[in-house]
Structure 1
Amino acid sequence: MSTVDNTPRWLAVAALAKIKNGAYSNLQLNQLINEHRMDRRDINLLTNMVYGVIQHRLTLEFWLKPFVRHPHQLDPWVRELLLSALYQWQYLDKIPQRAVFNETIEIAKVKGHPGIRRFVTGVLHQMDRSGLPAFDTIEDPDERLSATYSMPVWLIQELRQQLGATKMEAIIASLNQPAKQSLRVNTALSTVSDVTTALTNDGLTVEPSQISPLGLVVTDGQAINTEAMRYGMFTVQDESAQLVVPALNVQPGDRVLDACAAPGGKTTQIAAQLDVDAGGEVVALDIHANKVRLIGQNAARMHVADRVAATELDARKVQTQFDDENFDRILVDAPCSGLGLMRRKPEIRYEKQLQDSLNLQKIQLAILTAVAPTLKKGGIMTYSTCTILQQENQDVIAKFLADHPEFELQTTPTEQDLKADRTDKTLSIYPDDYLSDGFFIACLRKK
């Protein structure tokens, strides 16, 4: 076997070719890392290349187009090889162009026939001689933004319509910045101070979150490899996601329904606020048995399993197992398009269409409608999504309230008093606001 087979560049090309055929990027990366012995530097390069090419795909394809007449007729691995060479050349300043071109040509030589090697060599040298096309050569303004920020035209147009041109461009520009490594401290077991000390002693650089009082941001080092992570002192969770549970205002003796719970990050955050001796319990639902097991595993790792009842059940059928006015609090962290996660999961931007949001709206409304009778009078139901389109956010709440006059919308609270000057009672966190995930949170009180 050639040594090329084990280099981060070749493994990245292999992963990208599979991801283009529908494989999930994180699963492909984990599989490759587990199958090949690589040091931390090579793992970082592999990860950077895979996510970078996905993130900037439309930009890279725009640059490649003048040099390859029919790029989509190429073998997938050859196309991904050229795109990954472009990504390294344009975005990875520490890698010399000569090294990028030489290894790209070597991969083409080993993995393809002589014609492919000559083709790849010719394309690279022509790009070097001619230079890459400029974005200002694109006449259509939306197509120009699409190529500049690697964002689909439909999403650019929808965000402009909903939020205005300035906010839209700020959002799409921010989504190509690296995602932060954010953690939530497990208050059932530890404190922010103790976790900070433990991670600092392990050589990590940590700073407090500006969004969540339980949040920490690791700016240097890998938190998942620490003893504190294994022991359950914290979990990996985006700063925006940490805002959802505090909005429920959970009390120690509450009976709580987490209607769409997997993988259990918010379930364990709820459970940490409960007192089992006072009757506190969170019923965590998911429709898939394997995900219910995952909720249980996460609850055990976070030392809150005695307060978590992980249950296999479609939230739309909740009344088949639970009586009316059964719960003090209900969380509906609804299935959504996930467009607020594009910084962390870049392939989402190419997979979704507006119709997906409209289809999901029906499911979101069905879940809210199904669980609403099980909430006690005076109880709080919090609805959240990790998307940034109003079809799945404000529109869902408006439709629900129109059909359920027994509920009233309350102002979503945050412990850091975020967006205190907003006029909406709901809370929308956009990816450019704090460089965290996009999130929407609404609090509904049953009269």
Structure 2
Amino acid sequence: MGKYLLRNTIIDLLLRIEQDSGYSHLLINHEIKSNKISPKDEGLLTEIVYGTIQRKITLDYFIDYYLNSKKKIEPWVRMLLRMSIYQMNYLDKVPDHAIFHEAVEIAKQRGHKGVASLVNGMLRTIQRNGLPDIQKIQDPVQRLSVETSHPEWLVKRWIDHYGYETTKEMCEANLTTKAMSVRIQPLKISRKDAMERLNNEGYEVSASIFSEQGIIINNGNILKSSLFEDGLVTIQDQSSMLVGELLDANAGDVVLDACSAPGGKATHIAEKMGNKGVIRAHDLHKKKIKLINEKANALDLSIIEAEAADARNLGEHYQNETFDRILVDAPCSGLGVMRGKPDIKYNKQERDIERLSEIQKDILTTVAPLLKIEGKLLYSTCTVDPIENEAVVKAFLAEHEDYQIDKQFFEELPNELKNSIGVSEYGLQLFPQSFETDGFFLTRLIRR
């Protein structure tokens, strides 16, 4: 790739992610698959894009400290400064002189001499004087916000819910990379055999405590493994695997997965059922149904019947007391998966959380009559906000006397999770810092 082309591509990507609220992981994958990026540059592109988004608030604090407050700079110039300071401060791969040279050349190409001299001046001042000390910020909420690059409203909200220490640990965890995990297809291979094969191929792996099908990939690119190519494993976060484990579905059951795409949990449930029974999987978006079918086909699972439908209207599709098990993996703010999708923290507002909690309640209310008596309903989200989690469950139980928390749920938790900080009478809240997983909430209700 041309000398400045990679950096220009990175700026364009960052601008698209910020201005169009595009999903970083999708745009990066699209850019890599378009074959414009050489395999040699893939890692650097991913690292600079993710890192610059991840640290945006911190980087802006550094820029604004040295920028004359009367100076207005164009979005692309700020982006160029962000990614340059990110490389200087957080990456060892590129020497400072190369960062300066490339930044100045790009500034000349995209702007004019004045912009180039502003960029050059700021980067050299930072190299000479160092970055401002964040610890000197007096207000603890603002300090934590700048230090860990989380919006102030979110930091304050989490402190109100969980206290300063837990919030700090959560924000710091969101800046780190967690190991990828995969789930074996147990109808085709055992975990022991899969781990042996991976070890023989040079991977460093360990067994997950969350699921007997789970394997943590501590070192190596699993996408290049023979197991992945042969459809023997599927990528899934460990916290997400817990859903399939705790739904407690059996062979021959009739199961509803109300918000199913992209199908990771539905396929896991099908595996747990030994591919015997039926799973009706729905999602609001027609094009996402294709993803569910593709996943099922790749794993040779035939019991999933996927169809586009709004979970809030499923009462029109099915008769009451149709299902043995229901999974509501509800649409949520996604505040538990910011590690892998850092743009989420800048695209969400408090009002989104309130709006989503109403949708979550509506879905639960709609599907409640569809469960058989003595049937079980598992509610899960990939967020850490109690308004979308405990509060939703509480409100639902207050209006549905035939439902109660299934006490067996807590007995069936993996031993290591039984006494974790997130266990309450309403379910389990997993924090990203606790077990190196996504932040996740899950609970199980039973209909009497």
Aligned to 1:303: 300
Match for 2:45: what amino acid? L
Deviates more, 1:98-107 or 1:124-133: 98-107
* CA shift for structure 1 position 265: 0.2
Match for 1:418: what amino acid? E
Name the SS of the counterpart of 1:206 in structure 2.
strand
CA gap 1:171/1:443 in 2 versus in 1, 3 angstroms: same
Aligned to 1:379: 375
Verify: 1:28 aligned to 2:63, yes or no: no
CA gap 1:64/1:98 in 2 versus in 1, 3 angstroms: same
Give structure 1 stretches of 5+ with no counterpart.
none
Deviates more, 1:45-54 or 1:158-167: 158-167
Match of 1:312 among 300, 308, 312: 308
* CA shift for structure 1 position 206: 1.9
Give structure 2 stretches of 5+ with no counterpart.
none
Match of 1:15 among 13, 21, 30: 13
Match for 1:10: what amino acid? N
Name the SS of the counterpart of 1:382 in structure 2.
strand
Pairing 1:351-362 to 2, within 5 Å after superposition: 351-362=347-358
Measured in 1, the distance between the counterparts of 2:249 and 2:210 equals: 19
* CA shift for structure 1 position 202: 3.2
Match of 2:332 among 330, 336, 352: 336
* CA shift for structure 1 position 351: 1.0
* CA shift for structure 1 position 4: 3.2
Aligned to 1:49: 48
Aligned to 1:145: 144
Aligned to 1:162: 161
Match of 1:292 among 289, 293, 314: 289
Aligned to 1:418: 416
Match for 1:120: what amino acid? V
Measured in 2, the distance between the counterparts of 1:121 and 1:370 equals: 59
**Percent same amino acid among aligned pairs?**
36
Pairing 1:235-314 to 2, within 5 Å after superposition: 235-275=234-274, 280-304=277-301, 306-314=302-310
Measured in 1, the distance between the counterparts of 2:218 and 2:39 equals: 16
Measured in 1, the distance between the counterparts of 2:86 and 2:396 equals: 45
Deviates more, 1:134-143 or 1:30-39: 30-39
Aligned to 1:435: 436
Normalising by the residue count of structure 2, what TM-score does the alignment of the two structures yield? Answer: 0.94
Deviates more, 1:90-99 or 1:395-404: 90-99
- Aligned CA RMSD, in angstroms, stands at 1.8
Verify: 1:121 aligned to 2:120, yes or no: yes
Measured in 2, the distance between the counterparts of 1:97 and 1:211 equals: 43
* CA shift for structure 1 position 27: 2.2
Measured in 1, the distance between the counterparts of 2:399 and 2:13 equals: 47
CA contact (8 A) 2:10 2:48 kept: yes
Deviates more, 1:64-73 or 1:399-408: 64-73
CA gap 1:69/1:6 in 2 versus in 1, 3 angstroms: same
CA contact (8 A) 2:204 2:218 kept: yes
Name the SS of the counterpart of 1:122 in structure 2.
helix
Aligned to 2:80: 81
CA contact (8 A) 1:231 1:302 kept: no
Pairing 1:207-222 to 2, within 5 Å after superposition: 207-222=206-221
Match for 1:368: what amino acid? L
CA contact (8 A) 1:211 1:418 kept: no
CA contact (8 A) 2:211 2:245 kept: no
Match for 2:300: what amino acid? H
Match of 1:321 among 317, 325, 328: 317
Name the SS of the counterpart of 1:339 in structure 2.
coil
* CA shift for structure 1 position 141: 1.7
Name the SS of the counterpart of 1:109 in structure 2.
helix
Measured in 2, the distance between the counterparts of 1:127 and 1:96 equals: 14
Aligned to 2:181: 182
CA contact (8 A) 2:429 2:441 kept: yes
Measured in 1, the distance between the counterparts of 2:152 and 2:211 equals: 33
Cα-to-partner distance string for 1:7-33 (whole Å, 9 max, x where unaligned): 3x3322221111111222112212221
Aligned length: 442
Normalising by the residue count of structure 1, what TM-score does the alignment of the two structures yield? Answer: 0.94
Measured in 1, the distance between the counterparts of 2:331 and 2:47 equals: 28
Match for 1:344: what amino acid? G
Name the SS of the counterpart of 2:107 in structure 1.
helix
Cα-to-partner distance string for 1:53-84 (whole Å, 9 max, x where unaligned): 11110000001112223599422221111100
Cα-to-partner distance string for 1:189-211 (whole Å, 9 max, x where unaligned): 22212222333333322222243
CA contact (8 A) 1:181 1:218 kept: yes
